[in-house]
Amino acid sequence: MTSTVVLEPSAAPSGRAWASGPERQGNVYITPWRPWLTMYGLRLRSHAKEQVDLAPIQRKLPDEIMSMILGRLGAYNLGRTQCVCKAWHTLGFNEELWSPDCLHAFHHEPKDALVQLMRTQYRGSWRTMYLDRPHLRFDGLYVSRNTYIRTGVTEWRVKNPVHLVCYYRYFRFLPDGTFLYRTSPEVLVKVERSLRAPFVRSRADEGVQKGRYLLLRNRLFTSMPLGNKAGTEIRTRLRLRSTVQGANNRLDVDAIVSYDRGSNAAIPMLENAEGAGEEEGMPGRHYKRGLAPYVFVPWEHIQDSPLNLPIAKMDFYVPG
């Protein structure tokens, strides 16, 4: 609605408003200037969308072929591919690309139960379920870098040297519910080969042990026999978390316990771990050293991981 202002002739502005209507009894009727009113009733000419220069691979391959290629990358490489361009970002939301990795990550549950869970709790999206639900990663190693101070031998009662000792704990989890474990002073690149190949009995000489694990939501329970006469078993309780959505790249150690079960004892069942208390469910000798969090390193980043740096270049590592 357009309003008018009545001004005295001497108060009429010049340049910013114009007079309209007849002059009555010495008054001038002024209509205020509103620039947006000049756009009313105008029809703008529609311009055709500018052509976007596509990459050669986008011009040669249709979206159907690109979806088949992206489906072979795996979930984490698929997420990186979505950062390349808008076209691949859109293709990455195809649910058919995420369902195989989601079923593989939660293989211990029936498929029908996973489908029902995906529809009821994750808005019918396999991608959302894969990113929001905790699960272990099988495409690399979980590494824990531990350091402590050790006093050296006193020489001539003059110097008492102090040494910074560094050692590593390695976890490799397998989809069948087993894991490979190794404690070593060697860096990541030197132990990769012993943990990458399938486990065999002869590899026990390299310090590689085998055990079972159970994941309940974000709580992880491991059980590993040492194979000695006393039947010593190492049990660990950890918590799985992510530094970014869907990463599942950290394992916080809650407890490490060892106890003897006898020479003929088998690995205890882990099915009752859900009801176990913080201390009551894990009797035995509790360790207070070597509780640094585990950091996940994919196979393709093992060579350039900062965990390969020696103590002279990295005396302390903050996992985040």
Which DSSP symbol is given to 176? T
The predicted structure's pLDDT at residue 302: 92
Count the neighbouring beta carbons within 10 Å of the beta carbon of residue 167. 14
Task: Decide: helix, strand or coil at residue 171.
Answer: strand
Burial per residue of 94-111, b for 16 or more beta-carbon CB atoms within 10 angstroms, e otherwise: beebbbebbbebbeeeee
Long-range contacts of 121-127 (CB under 8 A, 24+ apart): 125/95, 125/98, 126/95, 126/98, 126/99, 126/102, 127/93, 127/95, 127/98
Is the predicted pLDDT of residue 112 greater than 70, yes or no? yes
Q: How many residues appear in the chain?
A: 320
Regarding beta strands 5-7 and 140-151, do their DSSP bridges make them parallel or antiparallel, or are they unpaired?
Answer: unpaired
Summarised one tens digit per residue, pLDDT across range 131-142 is 999 999 998 999
Q: How confident is the model at residue 12, as a pLDDT? A: 45
> Could you report the per-residue pLDDT of 178-195, keeping only the tens digit for each?
999 999 999 999 998 888
Question: 301: closest CA among 73, 79, 141, 83?
Answer: 141
Pair type for strands 250-260 and 285-286:
antiparallel
What are the b/e assignments for 173-188, b being 16+ CB within 10 Å? beeeeebbbbebeebb
Average pLDDT over residues 261-283: 50
Q: What is the pLDDT of residues 39-54, one digit of tens each?
A: 777 766 655 555 667 7
**For the chain, what are the domain ranges?**
5-39, 60-132, 140-308
Residue range 215-271, pLDDT digits in tens? 988 999 998 887 777 678 888 999 999 998 888 999 999 988 887 766 444 445 454
Which of 246, 247, 222, 249 has the alpha carbon at shortest distance from 236? 222
The DSSP bridge pattern shows strands 178-184 and 219-225 to be unpaired
Residue 281 pLDDT more than 60? no
Residues β-bridged to residue 256: 236
User: Where does the pLDDT of residue 105 fall: very low under 50, low under 70, confident under 90, or very high at 90 and above?
Assistant: confident
Between CA 135 and CA 76 the distance in angstroms is 13
The total of other beta-carbon atoms located within 10 Å of residue 236's CB is 23
Query: Are 208 and 180 in contact, with CB atoms under 8 Å apart?
Result: yes
User: What single-letter amino acid sits at 300?
Assistant: E
Q: 232, exposed or middle or buried, with CB in 10 Å at 0-12, 13-18, 19+? A: middle
Q: Which CATH architecture has domain 60-132?
A: Up-down Bundle (1.20)
Q: Distance (Å, rounded) from C-alpha 296 to C-alpha 201?
A: 26
Amino acid 242: pLDDT:
92
Question: pLDDT at position 79, please?
Answer: 85
Phi, psi at 195, each rounded to 5°: -105, -10
Least confident range of 18-22, 34-38, 200-204: 18-22
Handedness of CA 214, 135, 108, 182 (dihedral sign): negative
Per the model's pLDDT, the better-predicted residue between 15 and 191 turns out to be: 191
Residue 236's φ and ψ, nearest 5 degrees, are: -130, 140
